[in-house]
Amino acid sequence: MIYSKITGTGSDVPEKILTNVDLEKIVDTSDDWIRSRTGICQRHVRAEDEVTSDLALRAAQRALHAAGIAAEQVDLIIVATTTPDMVFPSTACILQAKLGVTQGAAFDIQAVCTGFVYALSIADQFIRSGSVKCALVVGAETFTNLLDWNDRNTCVLFGDGAGAVVLQPASEPGIYSTHLHADGRHVDILSVPGSISAGAAVGSPTVQMDGGAVFKFAVKVLKQASLEALATNHISMDDVDWFIPHQANVRIIEATAAKLKMPMSRVIVTVANHGNTSAASIPMALDIALRDGRIKPGQKILLAGVGGGFTWGSALIQM
């Protein structure tokens, strides 16, 4: 039986930091309001000449280095992103070229903030089928591109960043199971309802959100997806060393952990330092917690994501 295992992780954020106090000068908000409602203290914002694949490249290089893998060994690249460099080619193809890889498949997937869980699940299937030997799975966003900096309801929530993992075959898990869901009826509560046509933006190419509805839906499905992973693997939350939910905001994370009866001491929370980085948030949190020593080899981790679509999903993994 072939399983897949994460053998290296990496992450990256742009240098420029935008604090809550900086935001006070842009919109009618306050550090106190943002911290108390979201737990976010600062976010990173791309430089003018920085694109999603630049962040993806640095995260990928760190993940490859951690895995002890040369880029030429990669035979599948999946980039989960809502903010691709271009309409086409895919950010995965652009990343492939920047890495100097010329073999295998490369494609993007779009499941907004659940993107990394979707990408991990897809890569896991390729590895377990035996058709891929080394997958690079990246969540990367320049999500600040989609913000209306006059809309205090949304612009305080998001930031830019990237996280990456290397996935390789192993004789034991690795990835125990992944669980993906979508329900396209909920487009009205979270979307960027714009596109490009005849060389111009049509519609409204910035984030529109019903914050209260998103909050309730996110907590509900993060709990459902987490319980599904536990049930599939016949374990309880007590058997999980760390819970990494999508880093949207601390109140969603705390409410979900409470519903799962998971103590916050075993929940990885990194959102304070980078805001909601959409598809990048889970692999960034995983990398940060591995590198600071919280997550140790052999530990079981439950990942749970939720995002626009709506999409949601979970993965039970062992490092």
274 part of the active site: no
Q: Which of 214, 250, 268, 303 binds ligand ACO (CB under 6 A)?
A: 214
CA distance 183 to 200: 29
Q: Which of 16, 29, 107, 232 binds ligand ACO (CB under 6 A)?
A: 29
Residue 215 interacts with ligand ACO (CB under 6 A): yes or no: yes
Of the residues 20, 93, 113, 179, only one is catalytic, namely 113
Q: Restricting to residues 49-88, which ones interact with ligand ACO according to CB under 6 A?
A: none
Taking CB under 6 A as the binding criterion, the range among 78-86, 94-102, 241-249, 289-297 that sits at the site for ligand ACO is: 241-249
Spatial neighbors of 14 by CB under 8 A, at least 6 apart, are 44, 45, 46, 47, 50, 55, 160, 161
* Contact assessment for residue 179 and residue 232, using Cβ atoms and an 8 Å cutoff: yes
Q: Which residues pair with 182 in a beta bridge?
A: 311
Q: Restricting to residues 136-155, which ones interact with ligand ACO according to CB under 6 A?
A: 152-153
Q: Restricting to residues 253-312, which ones interact with ligand ACO according to CB under 6 A?
A: 276, 306-307
CA distance 114 to 173: 22
The distance of closest approach from Cβ of residue 16 to ligand ACO in the complex, given in angstroms and rounded to an integer, is 20
Residue 7 interacts with ligand ACO (CB under 6 A): yes or no: no
Query: Total residues contacting ligand ACO (rule CB under 6 A)?
Result: 25
CA distance 168 to 277: 26
User: 136 vs 218, which CB is nearer to ligand ACO?
Assistant: 218
Residue 190 interacts with ligand ACO (CB under 6 A): yes or no: yes
Q: Which of 123, 140, 218, 302 binds ligand ACO (CB under 6 A)?
A: 218
Residue 249 interacts with ligand ACO (CB under 6 A): yes or no: yes
User: 157 vs 257, which CB is nearer to ligand ACO?
Assistant: 157
Of the residues 20, 249, 273, 276, only one is catalytic, namely 276
Taking CB under 6 A as the binding criterion, the range among 62-70, 206-214, 230-238, 258-266 that sits at the site for ligand ACO is: 206-214
Residue 232 interacts with ligand ACO (CB under 6 A): yes or no: no
246 part of the active site: yes
Q: Print the binding letters for residues 110-139 with ligand ACO: x by CB under 6 A, - otherwise.
A: ---x--------------------------
Q: Which residues are catalytic?
A: 113, 246, 276
Residues that bind ligand ACO (CB under 6 A): 29, 33-34, 37-38, 113, 152-153, 156-157, 190, 209, 211-212, 214-215, 218, 246, 248-249, 251-252, 276, 306-307
